C-alpha cells in the first residue's frame, strides 16, 4: 500500500508566535507517529513571518528526540546556501544520536533563485486533466524574481560575493563525504566527522523535469516531486526522473514521492471553511512579501479580492485537496495513480492546531481502510 508522510512548514497562526508554531510542530510529530505516518519532513523557508521552519536541521533534531520510530528529515535543505560539508556534518551529528531514522532531502533553491532573475518563462500551456488529475496552467515567477526584496533576500542568504555551486557537484560531494570517498581535484582527501558513514536516506526534491530530476535519476536516488508547489509540472518532473534513472547501490528501481496540499474535516463543508484562508496565505507568498501568519477564516473572508489576486493563486487553489476523509483520499489516489507515486507527502495548514491534527488523523484512518 502507498504510504503517507507529512511535510510541515511549522506555520505561525495569526495571533500566535514562533514558539507556538514550534510547539505545535513537536506535538504534531508525536501524533503523526501515533497515526502511522511514515516520515515527518521539515521545509526550509526564510524571511516569512508565517513560517517558523528556517533551520530544518535544528527542528529535525528536536523532533527526533521527541519521537521514537517515525523517520524525520528535510524537505528540503536549500543546498545553494550551504556547503556540502556543513550539510553532511549537521545531519551526521543528528544521525549519531538517532541512527537509521534521518532523511536528508536536498533542493536546489539557492541555485534556482539566481536563475529566476534571467529566466525566460515558457509559453503558457492551457490547463488539462490527465488520468483524472488537474494539471493547471503554469504560474510564472518572473514578477517575484524582479522584486528588489527577492534580490535582498538572496544576498542575505549567502556570504558577500558568493555564487551557488552547481547542484550536481554539491550532491556528488555529499555522497562522497558520506561514503568517505571524497577527493579534491588535486587528489587530496577529506573526511567529515561527524557525517562519514552516517545511515542517512538521501533524497532529491524538485518541481520540474530539470536538473533536480536529472540528478536524482542519474545517481539512483529517490525523488520527491512537488505537486503542491508547482502542480503544472509534476508529470514532467516524474517522467524526467524515471527516464534518467540508473540503478545504484541505493535503489534498483525509481522511487517517487509526490506532495499535495490537503485539508480534511468530518464533512466537505467544514473542510472548506478551515481551508478558506489558504488563498490569502498563498497570495502573500506570491507577491514576494513572504508567507503571512496563517489567517483565521474570518480574517480571510474580510479580504477584498481583485481579479489580479485570483489569478495569482488560481492554480494552487484548484489543486488543493479539501473535503471529508473519503473525498480527499479519493483525490490522493488519483494523484498517486496519475504520477505513479510510491509514496505521498501531505502538507496541511489550518489556523487552529487542533484542526490540523484532526485533519491528519482523519486522513490516516481513511487511508488505512482502502
Q: Domains in the chain, ordered, with CATH?
A: 3-369 (3.20.20.30)
- pLDDT for position 110: 62
**Considering only CA atoms, which of 114, 98, 104, 227 is closest in space to residue 171?**
104
Mean pLDDT of 273-302: 95
Greatest Cα-to-Cα distance within the chain, rounded to the nearest angstrom: 64
Q: Are 206 and 112 in contact (CB under 8 A)?
A: no
- Above 80 in pLDDT, residue 37? yes
Split at pLDDT 50, 70, 90, the class of 115 is low
- pLDDT for position 318: 97
Split at pLDDT 50, 70, 90, the class of 289 is confident
Split at pLDDT 50, 70, 90, the class of 116 is low
- Above 90 in pLDDT, residue 353? yes
Split at pLDDT 50, 70, 90, the class of 162 is confident
Peptide bond into 76 cis (omega under 30): yes
Split at pLDDT 50, 70, 90, the class of 165 is confident
Bridge pairing between strands 256-264 and 3-8: unpaired
Q: At what angle do helices 211-218 and 167-179 cross, to 10 degrees?
A: 30
List of residues 6+ apart from 241 with CB closer than 8 A: 206, 209, 213, 214, 216, 217, 223, 225, 254, 256
Split at pLDDT 50, 70, 90, the class of 112 is low
**Considering only CA atoms, which of 190, 39, 179 is closest in space to residue 105?**
39
Q: Are 224 and 258 in contact (CB under 8 A)?
A: yes
Q: Which residue has the cell 560539508?
A: 85
Mean pLDDT of 236-255: 97
pTM over 0.85: yes
- Above 60 in pLDDT, residue 362? yes
Torsional class of 236: left (φ above 0), alpha (ψ -120 to 50), beta (otherwise): alpha
Split at pLDDT 50, 70, 90, the class of 153 is confident
Nearest-angstrom CA–CA distance, 58 and 91: 10
- Residue 346's DSSP bridge partners are 6, 260
Q: How many CB atoms lie within 10 A of CB 315?
A: 20
- pLDDT for position 180: 98
Nearest-angstrom CA–CA distance, 370 and 324: 15
Mean pLDDT of the chain: 94
Per-residue pLDDT tens over the stretch 252-269: 999 999 999 999 999 999
From 17-31, 121-135, 185-199, the region with the lowest mean pLDDT: 121-135
Amino acid at each position: 500500500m502507498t504510504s503517507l508522510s507529512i511535510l510541515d512548514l511549522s506555520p505561525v497562526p495569526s495571533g500566535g508566535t514562533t514558539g507556538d508554531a514550534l510547539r505545535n510542530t513537536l506535538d504534531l510529530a508525536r501524533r503523526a507517529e501515533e497515526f502511522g505516518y511514515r516520515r515527518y519532513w521539515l521545509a526550509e523557508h526564510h524571511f516569512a513571518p508565517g513560517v517558523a521552519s528556517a533551520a530544518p536541521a535544528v527542528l529535525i533534531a528536536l523532533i527526533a528526540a521527541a519521537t521514537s520510530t517515525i523517520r524525520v528529515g528535510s524537505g528540503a535543505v536549500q543546498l545553494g546556501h550551504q556547503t556540502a560539508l556543513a550539510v553532511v556534518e549537521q545531519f551526521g551529528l543528528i544521525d549519531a544520536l538517532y541512527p537509521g531514522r534521518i532523511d536528508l532531502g536536498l533542493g536546489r533553491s539557492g541555485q534556482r533563485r539566481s536563475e529566476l532573475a534571467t529566466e525566460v518563462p515558457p509559453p503558457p500551456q492551457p490547463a488539462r486533466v490527465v488520468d483524472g488529475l488537474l494539471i493547471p496552467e503554469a504560474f510564472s515567477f518572473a514578477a517575484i524574481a524582479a522584486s528588489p526584496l527577492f534580490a535582498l533576500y538572496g544576498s542575505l542568504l549567502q556570504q558577500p560575493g558568493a555564487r551557488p555551486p552547481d547542484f550536481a557537484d554539491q550532491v556528488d560531494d555529499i555522497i562522497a563525504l558520506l561514503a568517505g570517498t571524497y577527493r579534491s581535484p588535486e587528489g587530496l582527501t577529506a573526511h567529515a566527522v561527524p557525517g562519514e558513514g552516517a545511515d542517512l536516506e538521501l533524497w532529491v526534491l524538485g518541481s520540474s523535469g530539470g536538473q533536480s530530476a536529472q540528478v536524482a535519476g542519474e545517481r539512483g536516488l529517490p525523488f520527491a516531486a512537488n505537486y503542491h508547489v508547482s502542480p503544472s509540472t509534476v508529470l514532467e518532473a516524474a517522467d524526467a526522473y524515471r527516464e534518467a534513472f540508473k540503478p545504484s547501490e541505493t535503489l534498483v528501481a525509481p522511487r517517487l514521492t509526490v506532495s499535495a496540499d490537503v485539508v480534511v474535516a468530518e464533512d466537505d463543508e467544514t473542510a472548506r471553511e478551515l481551508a478558506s484562508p489558504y488563498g490569502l496565505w498563498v497570495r502573500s507568498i506570491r507577491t514576494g512579501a513572504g508567507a503571512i501568519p496563517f489567517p483565521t477564516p474570518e480574517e480571510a473572508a474580510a479580504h477584498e479580492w481583485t481579479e489580479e489576486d485570483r489569478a495569482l493563486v488560481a492554480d494552487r487553489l484548484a489543486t488543493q485537496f479539501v473535503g471529508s476523509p473519503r473525498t480527499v483520499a479519493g483525490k490522493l489516489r488519483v494523484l498517486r495513480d496519475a504520477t505513479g507515486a510510491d509514496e505521498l507527502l501531505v502538507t496541511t495548514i489550518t489556523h487552529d492546531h487542533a484542526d490540523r491534527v484532526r485533519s491528519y488523523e482523519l486522513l490516516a484512518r481513511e487511508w488505512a481502510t482502502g
